[in-house]
Structure 1
Amino acid sequence: MDDAAGRFAADIVATLTALGTNSTNIGILASVAVTKGDYLRLNLNTTNTSVGAGEKVTTPGYTGFPNGRRPGDDTIDTLLYFISNQTLLSGDNVNSNDVPLGGSFPFFAPPQQPRATGVIDDNTRN
């Protein structure tokens, strides 16, 4: 409840300002994260014609954030896009899953399992 009471708002704004985020983009981020609450909203009046897999907020016709979110939407790059005043240059460089999304529920691959000690490419980062 501390976040809902605005306890951290000043610190978050100060951090975004220190990163160079302008007030317009701070407002967009605050609107999504604070004003609209900690859940996703979906505008059914916005046609969703894009594929939602590997897209970025800069993709023409992108209708993801803040209009719901699809499994393939790159949410970190979307946040970085607004933090960097809508001039994202490189993002986080994580642009796809190592296992493709499924075509039906549950869509996601099973979680990564620990690999033997010493195995290169330990996706679990143990």
Structure 2
Amino acid sequence: MQLIASPVHVLQELVGCRSVSTDDAGQHAAMEKIVNILEKNIGAKVTLISTAGKPAIFATVSGDRPEALLFYGHYDVMTPGDLTQWKSDPFTLVKRDQRFYGRGTGDNKGQLVATLTGISNFWM
């Protein structure tokens, strides 16, 4: 296992995945990145569960305590809409005015990276 040393770099890679809900290839790339983080950085046992839509990622991490923690999120994003309304490429993470911008930074890729980083760096 290796800790997630740079959550910003992970977020940059994940935002770069064009995982628009209607784009199977982009969602598959994002899924692969998340599975890689779960396995390599957290030591999780990952199972992909078939659904009527995209597969669900189910990860289990063994611990010394009997309590369980469940978190749920998604890695797809909505279409960025009119690209002329964006100040930068929606699939490139940009820091501007002490904030990060890019498709999915607020819903839900940023939250997902924060959760995975917390588990990787502090829980393990």
TM-score normalised by the shorter chain: which range applies? Answer: under 0.3
Higher strand share: 2
More helix by share: 2
TM-score (norm 1): 0.23
Which of these two proteins has the greater Rg computed from alpha carbons? 1
Q: Which has the higher contact order (CA 8 A, sep 6+)?
A: 2
